[in-house]
Structure 1
């Protein structure tokens, strides 16, 4: 199974130079610009033009419509599977998606560090193969420039939960500066932010191939 990972497109998806083909397209949040239902409708049309058999989308902190008018937002996203603290199994691979990030200013899907986020990460099933969150775990793809220094802004409780799981991959975005691929033990971690820090959608989609149960399928 080939996964194609993008994130943080901010309604600039039609400006992405290339989206590779694959079995599952994953968008790890911040798909919208203004966060409106109209944004979702336009994004949904674009998704429908892509060849991937399966598409998975989670919300991010810019995706207000999914928080404020959830039923209408989900109804508008007809060309993808929307996950919000929920999962889906595709060809024996178990995916789980969650939009939450630590509170910073006043954005959508934010919770205070500590117990509120800890409780969300406890919902992730122990048999998850691919975890999709909008924000990164602490210390991986989460560095931002603050004045004359950098700071890790990812969630420590998410990092702890990921360490407890036997994931094949953890896909996220949110921190544009952290774009890239990382490795921790046997888990591949991907910050798939499509937009760079200047909100230019120039970062290429990141692809990976997974072995499906009960045997490794050729990709």
Structure 2
């Protein structure tokens, strides 16, 4: 199937849509604010047992959202069948779990949309909802650190890559090839790993960052690096050529309600409501036919970092100790694969001038979560999305 998604909508109208973002809940069923869409950015569990996953699914199914989108993370190990086949004794001793049975929890769910390195088109059809639609790509992968699921070696060009890229004995996908599966015209990207230099404590993925500079979605939701929870607005210089964009500016979000004891939301408002500055993401092109129907087709599924100085290396936490300064903000060459894109739709992409990045990790400490058990609040994003209902 083609992985290309049309960027042209039947009309140019948008409407505010509320997206509640969470990730790295690690067996915790946290209280969620109201919203239209729920996104979980992976690590629902600690070790991906059927019991852990079943409880997480039951919790998510009971939440009141019109659409609920879920990806796995490196701790949800049974959902990575190839990894679990080799390494299950290291995690579950003699209590071997059935990966197919674990995966079926999500595939059989009537309310969860589970994405494993694939895309989908989401329409909100509730009569009392916003009536908007968006295209989304979700992936559980993250750069190699320790012995965990859904991991790949960092690119040799990655300035954060260690000399040894892990010891897993599976054949692994090339990082650039892996992320080239992301369609260039999606609205929302959900990955377990952050991109390098964006809500990542300097240990995100360099290749994903290059891809982000080309795709430039409205919203990139991630987690994995617990201590980097937060949000940024990235302003792109779309005139740099070769499909990739340089970064003009990065605006840091200040949580209006950081106290986890407060009932007030941690809100990222990307709309024009109340005189605020909306996300600069305008796909309207008067030269395009208003009757052009979107051709949304899903792609087929394809297919941690150095510890703090003086600390015990632990998956789920990282630090740039020993690295020579911050990586360059030059996004480098495009890494998206050759994709068949309508020339008019590609010209329309010039409106992709901003991306909001959200690291929505709920846990505040890395695995095995020693010390304080304080939890971060969900991050709520208000964003203008295209209206599909005429």
Structure 1 length as normaliser, TM-score? Answer: 0.88
Whole-angstrom CA distance in 2 between matches of 1:101 and 1:117: 9
**Correspondent of 2:226 among 162, 176, 186:** 176
Match of 2:27 in 1: 11
Match of 1:76 in 2: 105
Question: Residues 42-86 of structure 1, C-alpha deviation per residue, up to 9 Å, x if partnerless?
Answer: 111111211111111101110011112553223112141110111
Q: Does 1:105 align with 2:146?
A: yes
Match of 2:211 in 1: 161
Aligned counterparts, 1:76-155, within 5 A? 76-77=105-106, 78=109, 79-91=111-123, 92-114=133-155, 116-143=174-201, 152-155=202-205
Contact 1:9 1:201 in 2 (8 A): no
Deviation at 1:87, TM superposition (A): 1.3
Contact 1:93 1:212 in 2 (8 A): yes
Identify which of structures 1 and 2 has the higher relative contact order when contacts are C-alpha pairs closer than 8 Å and 6+ apart: 2
Contact 1:98 1:134 in 2 (8 A): yes
Q: Does 1:26 align with 2:39?
A: yes
**Correspondent of 1:52 among 62, 65, 78:** 65
Contact 1:100 1:117 in 2 (8 A): no
Whole-angstrom CA distance in 2 between matches of 1:62 and 1:166: 28
Q: Does 1:193 align with 2:366?
A: no
Contact 1:171 1:191 in 2 (8 A): yes
Aligned length: 206
Deviation at 1:214, TM superposition (A): 4.8
**RMSD of aligned Cα (Å):** 1.9
Whole-angstrom CA distance in 2 between matches of 1:70 and 1:52: 27
**Would the alpha carbon gap of residues 4 and 201 (structure 1) be closer, same or farther in structure 2, given more than 3 Å must change?**
farther
Q: Does 1:61 align with 2:234?
A: no
Contact 1:12 1:201 in 2 (8 A): no
Q: Which has the larger radius of gyration?
A: 2
SS of structure 2 residue aligned to 1:160? helix
Whole-angstrom CA distance in 2 between matches of 1:37 and 1:173: 22
Runs ≥4 residues deviating over 4 A: none
Whole-angstrom CA distance in 2 between matches of 1:201 and 1:121: 33
| Structure 1: unaligned runs, 5 residues or longer | 144-151
Structure 2 length as normaliser, TM-score? Answer: 0.51
Whole-angstrom CA distance in 2 between matches of 1:201 and 1:96: 30
Q: Does 1:41 align with 2:99?
A: no
